[in-house]
Chains A and B, each alone.
Chain A
Amino acid sequence: MRIRGERGTLQAQEQRLAYLFLLVPVAIVFLVIIFPTVWNLWLSFHKLSLRDLRTSAPLSLNFTMYSYFKVFGDPDFTSSLIATLTYSIGGTLITLFLGLGTALLLSPKFRGRGAMRGLFLIPYIAPVVAVTFTWRLLLDPRGPIMTALVNVGWLDQPLHLLGQRPLAMMTLVLFQGWRYFPLAFLFIMARLQAIPRTLYEAADVDGATPFQKFFYVTLPQLKLILATLGLLRFMWTFNRFDDVYLLTSGAAGTKVLPVLVVDYLIGQFDVGAGAAAAMALFGCLTLLLIIYFRWVMRRAEQVEV
């Protein structure tokens, strides 16, 4: 009895200590993420402008669908949904493609491989502000690249790569690939090196050509990591704000949902509409995630059977 009692207090002590250790992280996550998310829902059901905010108590109970009607009725919203999907699908595919290509390129050992790997990670590590402004100047119609293309005679007129439909969206997708392929590459490379050598030896015995080895050995082994990466990249591209805002400010058909959210907030001073648009973004993301997971689950089952 006594021993049990002592153990009980020890355990209680351990539990108290654990709560103490976790207090700050949990409190901050609650304060800065969980509570605001719930409150965002609340805000989306209010008609609230930035100016009201200073005077009125934002805890009023006058619920209204005003913001949702405004957002869903906004032609910008529909086009922004399309833009977001184009950007996310295109950006994800090109990131995976470049990541896979780079991983295959750097998988054999050769001199300078380490240096190349280091170099390839820089686009992701450098501040987004620095790289977006550099590309903006580089791609400017009067900038070095366009001037060179016109001088060589490949173009009659300089193209407005960041200010013209549909070029602006294509440029954003390419930029997405340029900036995030390092991540895909790191993951794919790690998986690539974990593929058992024996699989390739067996393929060699069977007389497989390099292409056959890639399609029948390498690719199936990478399927899972490619699917996971694809999902994650899709999600993160879907709510990406910085890159689009800094490159085009949402001009020429590139106003993606996150940019629309910020535009409602600081462009139109409409807190309610911003919150409603953020809820829409959140809803889309959740929906897509569920669909994706069910699809992956079914596929996984089929593969196993």
Chain B
Amino acid sequence: MRLRIEWSIIWFLRVVGGLVLIVAVAFPFYWMIIASLTPLARLLADPTDIGIHLGEMIFTTYPEIWNVFHFSRFFANSAYVSIVTVALTLVFSTLGAYAVARLRFRGRTVLSRGILLVYMFPAIAVAIPIYVIFSKLGLRNNLNGLVLFYLAQTFPVALYMLHSYFKTLPPDLEEAGRIDGCSRFSVIWRITVPLSLPAMISVALYTFMIAWNEFLFAFLFLDSPSSYTLPRGIQAVANNVNVSQQLLMTGAVIATVPVVAVFFLFERYFVRGLTAGAVKG
């Protein structure tokens, strides 16, 4: 009897909880898309009407925000910042992680513990001094300055992930390569990198997500519209009284689609990167 009661409670919680969660997670994204396509008058007249009315949809908001509100520029800036961050993170953390995993040098233990400490570091604690430095050096409104900061955020996670992956690889192959006369660089390039491709992809995806979504530093350091990234651009557009809900949601869709698309394309790798980096964020 007790068993039956408990099982029915469990099933009830499963079904109800599952449905509530699905709605709570999916609804905002669904509404984001619908709101970007619904004429403003309709949105204001009856906000509760959240159905899909194919005949009445308008697609003018996308060209409008893309051209009139310069989202093409913001998109290009975001793409630039993310791609450069991913590329530099991969190159330098591969070399660094290789050194920590394979080479003997003084300070190795200090370094591998230091990685974890830096990893836990709150960004807000350095916001003010960096703001001051960047202002002094003229790095504000400079996308490369932003990249520099993102690198400091991604290196610890990337070094940690790659170094633990490299440690699982047998060193024999690399030694064989060395004996055959390969230099360290070509051993890394021809043997270590191809073998660690899954970890590399995870690092790349995690880094991409960090750089694409980052708001605090983009907000503090970019104040000329020509240097805005998408998150900064959306925030600026939201403060503009002339901008409708519709346009704001259009911007949100434009910023969301690339990350979510990348996530679904590489879900398995992405999840691995998330769990490694999840300590942060």
Residues in chain A within 8 A of chain B (CB atoms): 11, 14-15, 17-19, 21-22, 24-26, 28-29, 31-33, 35-37, 39-40, 43, 53-54, 58, 98, 101-102, 105, 116, 118-131, 133-135, 137-138, 142-144, 147-148, 151, 178, 180, 182-183, 186-187, 190, 209-211, 232, 235-236, 238-239, 241-242, 246, 258, 261-262, 265-266, 271, 274-275, 278, 281-282, 285
List the A side residues contacting B216 at CB < 8 Å. Answer: 241-242
Binds A, one of B63-71, B152-160, B165-173: B152-160
In the complex, besides A15-B105, A25-B151, A144-B50, 16 extra interface pairs with C-beta distance below 8 angstroms are: A14-B104, A21-B98, A28-B151, A31-B152, A36-B130, A40-B129, A105-B17, A122-B263, A128-B213, A131-B28, A133-B249, A142-B47, A209-B3, A238-B122, A265-B128, A278-B128
Question: Known: A133-B234, A186-B275, A246-B215. Contact between A239 and B255, CB under 8 A?
Answer: no
Shortest distance between the CB of A224 and any CB in chain B (Å): 15
Check B128–A274 contact: CB distance below 8 A. Answer: yes
Is B22 among interface residues, defined by CB-CB distance under 8 A?
A: yes
Binds A, one of B6-14, B53-61, B196-204: B6-14
Chain B's interface size range is 35 or more
Check A101–B17 contact: CB distance below 8 A. Answer: yes
The CA of A35 and the CA of B274, in the complex, are separated in Å by: 28
B75-100 CB mask vs A (1 if < 8 Å, else 0) is 00000000000000000110110111
Check B26–A148 contact: CB distance below 8 A. Answer: no
The CA of A262 and the CA of B221, in the complex, are separated in Å by: 12
Shortest distance between the CB of B192 and any CB in chain A (Å): 12
Question: Known: A17-B103, A183-B274, A281-B122. Contact between A130 and B256, CB under 8 A?
Answer: yes
The CA of A58 and the CA of B155, in the complex, are separated in Å by: 29
Cβ 8 A contact of B259, one of A127, A239, A242: A127
B241-258 CB mask vs A (1 if < 8 Å, else 0) is 000010011011101100
The CA of A101 and the CA of B46, in the complex, are separated in Å by: 35
Cβ 8 A contact of A40, one of B125, B149, B230: B125
Check B127–A25 contact: CB distance below 8 A. Answer: no
The CA of A3 and the CA of B191, in the complex, are separated in Å by: 29
Residues in chain B within 8 A of chain A (CB atoms): 2-3, 6-7, 10, 14, 17-18, 21-22, 24-26, 28-29, 31-32, 35, 46-48, 50, 92-93, 95-96, 98-100, 103-106, 108, 111, 118, 120-133, 135-136, 148-149, 151-152, 155-156, 159, 184, 209, 212-213, 215-216, 220, 230-231, 234-235, 238, 245, 248-249, 251-253, 255-256, 259-260, 263-264, 267, 270-271, 274-275, 278-281
The CA of A274 and the CA of B119, in the complex, are separated in Å by: 23
List the A side residues contacting B131 at CB < 8 Å. Answer: 265, 271
The CA of A273 and the CA of B76, in the complex, are separated in Å by: 36
Question: Known: A22-B111, A138-B31, A210-B7. Contact between A122 and B25, CB under 8 A?
Answer: yes
Question: Known: A40-B129, A246-B215, A285-B122. Contact between A129 and B234, CB under 8 A?
Answer: yes
What are 27 A-B pairs with beta-carbon distances under 8 A? A11-B104, A15-B105, A24-B95, A25-B96, A25-B155, A25-B159, A43-B128, A43-B129, A43-B132, A98-B21, A105-B21, A118-B263, A120-B25, A127-B231, A127-B259, A129-B215, A130-B32, A131-B252, A133-B248, A142-B47, A144-B31, A232-B279, A239-B123, A239-B125, A242-B215, A261-B127, A278-B127
Check A126–B249 contact: CB distance below 8 A. Answer: no
The CA of A182 and the CA of B226, in the complex, are separated in Å by: 34
List the A side residues contacting B255 at CB < 8 Å. Answer: 127, 129-130
The CA of A261 and the CA of B130, in the complex, are separated in Å by: 13
Nearest residue (CB) in B for A11 is B104
Check A266–B220 contact: CB distance below 8 A. Answer: yes
Shortest distance between the CB of A194 and any CB in chain B (Å): 13
Nearest residue (CB) in A for B106 is A15
Check B148–A32 contact: CB distance below 8 A. Answer: yes
Nearest residue (CB) in A for B235 is A129
List the A side residues contacting B28 at CB < 8 Å. Answer: 131, 134-135, 138
Check B281–A24 contact: CB distance below 8 A. Answer: no
Shortest distance between the CB of B43 and any CB in chain A (Å): 9
List the A side residues contacting B124 at CB < 8 Å. Answer: 239, 241, 258, 261-262, 278, 281
The CA of A285 and the CA of B121, in the complex, are separated in Å by: 11
Cβ 8 A contact of A127, one of B108, B122, B213: B213
The CA of A251 and the CA of B24, in the complex, are separated in Å by: 25
List the B side residues contacting A24 at CB < 8 Å. Answer: 92, 95-96
Shortest distance between the CB of B119 and any CB in chain A (Å): 10
